[in-house]
Structure 1
Amino acid sequence: MNQNPLGNRRGGLRIWVLLAFAAYAAYYWFSNRSIDPLTGQAVVIDRSISPEQEKALGLQAYQEVLQQERPLPADAQASQQVAAIAQRLIAKIPPVSDALAAEHGLQASHIEKSFDWKVTVLQSEQVNAFCLPGGKMAVYTGLLPVAQNADAMAVVMGHEIAHALLRHGAQRMTRGKLEQLGQMAGAASGMDSGTLQTVMQAYGYGSALPYARSQETQADELGLMLAAAACFDPRQAVPLWERMDKNSGGGAPPEFASTHPSAGTRIQQLEALMPKALDYRAKFCESAATAGAGMR
């Protein structure tokens, strides 16, 4: 029987490269692992990524967006309405963060203390909004007719604020580093491009996409509690997502292939959270005033 020493050597090298990567990935994961006080879940954030670095990256991205989009004047009705919603949500971050952290026997880090908050309404048909690390926010005018009222808008804006508070951007950057290392390890081990592509696709469906969906679920919960505590009606979250689903025209990808939960899953999760949200509203809403006016 013929043997190929060179082939055996390459096979052994491939195994050792992959084992070395697995060992380093495990070390990296454990050494950068912590428990997020607002969710009680384990997160991995590279310790070299500081909140100040995130804030600088957020500001850079915000300035780039403003160069590409057309902001509404600050004195426009929509700008004033959105700014008022943002102010109410921001005011409730400290007590809501403390309450959520206490549920897990932890203390909130209050990363928001370093944020320089600013919200801008952008003239665009996009049905979207965002909040970048550091507190720079934007709402696209295309979202206004879908939201229809300030309660629903508060749910969306609370969700976006939650992404920044939970440092989801830093978590994605950390995960991206590991993904790049994994691709490099696969290439260094001699894995052919087709096999590597198959492995990365399997990783996407089995890990990366579910991870992204879990971040959306976390932001939904924190955002809903912020909206409720700020005296908005959290029950408007359900009809909001019914309208969002209708607005998509059925064009959304299936949930397993998406970074976001489906509208149906989201509605079920929000309905399950509603008793807690109403408790937060009763506990933290000092004013009987509501913000149910229409959005234009």
Structure 2
Amino acid sequence: MCRLCTAKSPRWVSRRAFMLAAGAVVAGPAVSQVDVGGSSPLRSLVPATEIEQVAAKEYGELLQKARAKGALANEGNAQLRRLRSISSRLIADAPRWNPRARQWRWEVNLIGSDSVNAFCMPGGKIAVFTGLIEKLRATDDELAMVVGHEIAHALREHARERIAKSQGTGALLSLGAQLFGLGQLGDVAADIGTQLLTLKFSRDDEIEADLVGLEMGARAGFDPQASISLWDKMARVSGAGGGPAFLSTHPSGPDRMRRLAENIPRVQGLYRQAMGNR
């Protein structure tokens, strides 16, 4: 996910857990209908497997805290079943954008909170807050656009690039040596968490996540027009006072909606094909 603001998130959710949701692994060029860039060579300086290990630990702690608060949806929860059904269709196409996604141990969970938020951690660790579903009255198509956007950030390794650029090559080479066994993993994990605390994705990262998420949704049989209605609802919720946490790092506005609208025709054929195969 993008760097998520925790001001409106449950107090028991650590900032580092949210920041790790921005992480990703080795991404390669995909055969797509939208224009996405290639993978930055800087990303290779931050080992993907170690970031995934840190993220898995943080995700597990997050779920443990949610469970202790009675906020973690159980397996029989209807909204969780709905979320997992939507996510599974998106996940099926994830290797198109990142071959490593085949190895990820995907998890999808629903957390009870008024926060309008969602994220995907490295290794396919997805969580959605009930506030996003309920306050937006999100349809399946709209929810797919949110989850697809967050998955796209992970698949396109935006966090690894941000970390690489922020630390500098020399520091990253040292970090890489530590991660490969020449230092203490716990210390390095804390360092990664610190980096992610100040992580903010670029405008290009946001654009790419929008477009990749749009195509993923279309290929999975979700109406791409929902990308427009989703951001319209986000703007309405924001105008109602305070604004959702999601918008703190997912700026809305005419440019975003215009760009999505321009790209919808490029993926309509994929959507129709997916609907025809269902």
Question: Common fold, TM-score beyond 0.5?
Answer: yes
2:208 maps to: 218
Following superposition, the deviation at residue 179 of structure 1 comes to 10
Q: Which has the higher contact order (CA 8 A, sep 6+)?
A: 2
Structure 1's 180 and 130: CA in aligned 2 closer, same or farther, altered over 3 A? Answer: farther
Secondary structure class of the residue paired with 2:64: helix
RMSD: 2.7
1:74 maps to: 75
Partner residue of 1:154 out of 144, 150, 153: 144
Runs of 4+, deviation exceeding 3 Å: 258-261, 283-288
Partners of 1:65 and 1:167 in 2: how far apart? 22
Secondary structure class of the residue paired with 2:45: coil
Q: For the Cα contact (< 8 Å) 1:212–1:260, is it kept in 2? A: no
Partners of 2:123 and 2:45 in 1: how far apart? 17
Unaligned 5+ segments in structure 2 are 1-25, 31-35, 172-198
1:65 maps to 2:31 = no
Q: For the Cα contact (< 8 Å) 2:27–2:99, is it kept in 1? A: no
1:84 maps to: 85
Task: Note the alpha carbon deviations across 1:11-66, whole angstroms, 9 max, x for none.
Answer: xxxxxxxxxxxxxxxxxxxxxxx995142345243433222112112212212322
Partner residue of 1:174 out of 143, 161, 164: 164
Partners of 1:217 and 1:54 in 2: how far apart? 24
Following superposition, the deviation at residue 287 of structure 1 comes to 3.2
1:51 maps to 2:48 = yes
Partners of 2:256 and 2:157 in 1: how far apart? 21
For normalisation by structure 2, the TM-score amounts to: 0.68
Q: Which amino acid aligns with 2:80?
A: S
Following superposition, the deviation at residue 168 of structure 1 comes to 1.4
Q: Which amino acid aligns with 1:237?
A: S
Q: For the Cα contact (< 8 Å) 2:115–2:130, is it kept in 1? A: yes
1:120 maps to 2:109 = yes
Partners of 1:118 and 1:284 in 2: how far apart? 24
Partners of 2:44 and 2:93 in 1: how far apart? 28
1:263 maps to: 253
1:236 maps to: 226
Secondary structure class of the residue paired with 1:75: coil
Following superposition, the deviation at residue 230 of structure 1 comes to 0.7
Partners of 1:116 and 1:79 in 2: how far apart? 18
Partners of 2:98 and 2:77 in 1: how far apart? 35
Task: Note the alpha carbon deviations across 1:216-247, whole angstroms, 9 max, x for none.
Answer: 11111111111111111111111111110111
Structure 1's 53 and 274: CA in aligned 2 closer, same or farther, altered over 3 A? Answer: same
Partners of 2:273 and 2:262 in 1: how far apart? 19
Higher gyration radius (CA): 1
Unaligned 5+ segments in structure 1 are 1-33, 98-107, 182-207, 253-257, 289-296
Aligned residues: 212
Partners of 1:37 and 1:75 in 2: how far apart? 38
- After superposition, residues 129-148 of structure 1 pair within 5 angstroms as 129-145=118-134, 146-148=136-138
Partners of 1:170 and 1:35 in 2: how far apart? 10
